[in-house]
């Protein structure tokens, strides 16, 4: 790529202001380069590669053991898990522009990689051939909180939700057309019981009887791997009967799982100074994450009111020795489900976005290029990466065997 092409490529992933900060120039300078008004200095190419793009270059051309597509990709938690097993992503779809920004900041596929927005507008014939389909199709129409909210507002849920509930059928039409060797779908635990089991029954009927896959599923709690109670259903299907089962699933015991102290900031100066959630030479959590007196008083009053009614609603106050409630996409509103105690004399605080990333199993190299509000939504909607990684490990031998089978047969025939 020449310098202009590199600038265009970087602008797909970062704002002009972010590029300007990385290169030590003014944002207006970047915009002038973008429209070819001025010519960038010779150092800009190397600076972009070193400061904005990963060290291994723009695209990893190493041979892959299998290929996969990433639907409803969010910020790429499933992709991380399957890349570790030797897979290569050949197609991505995610409708949210801010999630796409985070995804693009962490995965650099080059200009040939197709990154679609709204999957409902994509013709299934235009999706590249692939060995594995991954999809965390929207869970809000089926979640307990989502259903309760929609019922309260008189809105449809499940498959009656025409904007989100029917997106499963976009997954189905792509499976029907491309016939991948395997798929992994993820959703909330409540999918199994939604609409008295009819929703889940429809999904399994489509996958098993209409599409002809050998389907199995398992509800897994992220608490095995991260300090968070988060139950999700994982549905796995193989086109052939490869003998896949859950017997080899390695789930650490809950009493051996990490506690919140493992993901909280150390606040001893050992973490990167450039993280904007920290301040001072010791890297203390910035003061703006501590709840205001007004918000803290409101949450305590709200909890007390519901306790009097016999309800369990209220905030979740935890310390480093605890396991948190489920992180939700609404965490940005008040942080009430996971509040970190700072002692009796100080109001509790929210998790920082970096702590949320750790709570979902992302490592500290994962880039967070969006605002705190957007980051909270993204991590609240994400998969727990080590859960998917463990399922990917279990699936990988069967996927690789199936992916290699045609090559073996063609060599034998030759």
* 350 token code pair: 């929210």
* Alpha helix positions (H), 91-156: 97-106, 144-152
- The angle subtended at Cα 275 by Cα 263 and Cα 136, nearest 5°, is 55
Residues forming a β-bridge with 221: 231
Tokens 């030759």 belong to residue: 414
Tokens 């209409």 belong to residue: 210
> Which residues, including other chains, have CB under 8 Å from residue 133's CB and lie 6 or more apart?
68, 69, 71, 171, 174, 175, 178, 180, 182, 183, 184
**Do the Cβ atoms of 16 and 27 come closer than 8 Å?**
yes
**Do the Cβ atoms of 228 and 384 come closer than 8 Å?**
yes
Q: Where are the beta strands (DSSP E) in 5-157?
A: 66-71, 87-93, 114-116, 132-135
User: Is residue 89 flagged as an active site residue?
Assistant: no
* CA gap 366, 105 in Å, rounded: 9
In order of 117, 202, 217, 361, the CA distances from 181 in angstroms are: 24, 21, 17, 27
* CA gap 320, 121 in Å, rounded: 45
Residue of 137, 388, 126 whose CA lies nearest to 249: 388
SS3 state at 143 = coil
Tokens 């909180």 belong to residue: 145
**Do the Cβ atoms of 147 and 193 come closer than 8 Å?**
no
Tokens 């990167």 belong to residue: 272
Phi, psi of 324 (to 5 degrees): -85, 165
Radius of gyration of the chain (CA): 23
Per annotation, catalytic residue among 89, 139, 277, 356: 139
Helix, strand, coil % over all residues of the chain, rounded to 5 = 45, 15, 45
* CA gap 136, 234 in Å, rounded: 9
**Do the Cβ atoms of 267 and 366 come closer than 8 Å?**
no
* CA gap 367, 229 in Å, rounded: 24
Residues with a known catalytic role: 139
């Amino acid at each position: 790529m020449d310098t202009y092409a590199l600038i265009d490529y970087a602008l797909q992933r970062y704002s002009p202001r972010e590029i300007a900060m990385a290169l030590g120039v003014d944002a207006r300078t970047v915009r002038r380069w973008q429209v070819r008004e001025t010519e960038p200095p010779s150092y800009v190419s190397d600076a972009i590669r070193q400061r904005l793009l990963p060290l291994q270059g723009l695209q990893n051309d190493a041979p892959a053991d299998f290929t996969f597509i990433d639907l409803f990709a969010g910020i790429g938690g499933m992709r991380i898990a399957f890349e570790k097993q030797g897979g290569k992503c050949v197609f991505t779809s995610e409708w949210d522009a801010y999630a796409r920004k985070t995804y693009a900041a962490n995965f650099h596929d080059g200009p040939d990689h197709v990154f679609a927005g709204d999957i409902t507008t994509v013709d299934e014939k235009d999706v590249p051939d692939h060995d594995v389909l991954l999809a965390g199709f929207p869970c809000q129409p089926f979640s307990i909180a989502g259903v309760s909210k929609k019922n309260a507002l008189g809105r449809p849920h499940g498959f009656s939700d025409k904007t989100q509930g029917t997106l499963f059928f976009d997954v189905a039409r792509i499976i029907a057309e491309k016939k991948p060797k395997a798929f992994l779908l993820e959703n909330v635990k409540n999918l199994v019981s939604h609409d008295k089991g009819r929703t889940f029954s429809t999904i399994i009927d489509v996958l098993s009887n209409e599409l002809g896959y050998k389907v199995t599923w398992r509800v897994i709690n992220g608490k095995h791997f991260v300090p968070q109670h988060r139950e999700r259903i994982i549905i796995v299907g193989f086109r052939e009967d490869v003998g896949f089962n859950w017997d080899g699933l390695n789930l650490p015991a809950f009493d051996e799982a990490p506690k919140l102290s493992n993901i909280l900031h150390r606040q001893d100066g050992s973490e990167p100074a450039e993280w904007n959630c920290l301040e001072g030479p010791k890297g203390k959590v910035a003061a703006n994450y501590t709840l205001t007196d007004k918000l803290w008083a409101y949450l305590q009053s709200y909890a007390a009111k519901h306790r009097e009614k016999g309800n369990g609603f209220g905030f979740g106050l935890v310390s480093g020795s605890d396991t948190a409630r489920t992180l939700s996409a609404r965490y940005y509103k008040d942080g009430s489900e996971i509040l970190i105690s700072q002692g009796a004399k100080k109001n509790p605080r929210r998790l920082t976005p970096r702590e949320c990333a750790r709570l979902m199993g992302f490592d500290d190299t994962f880039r967070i290029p969006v605002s705190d509000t957007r980051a909270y939504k993204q991590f609240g909607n994400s998969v727990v990466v080590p859960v998917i990684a463990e399922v990917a490990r279990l699936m990988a031998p069967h996927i690789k065997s199936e992916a290699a089978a045609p090559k073996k047969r063609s060599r034998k025939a030759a």
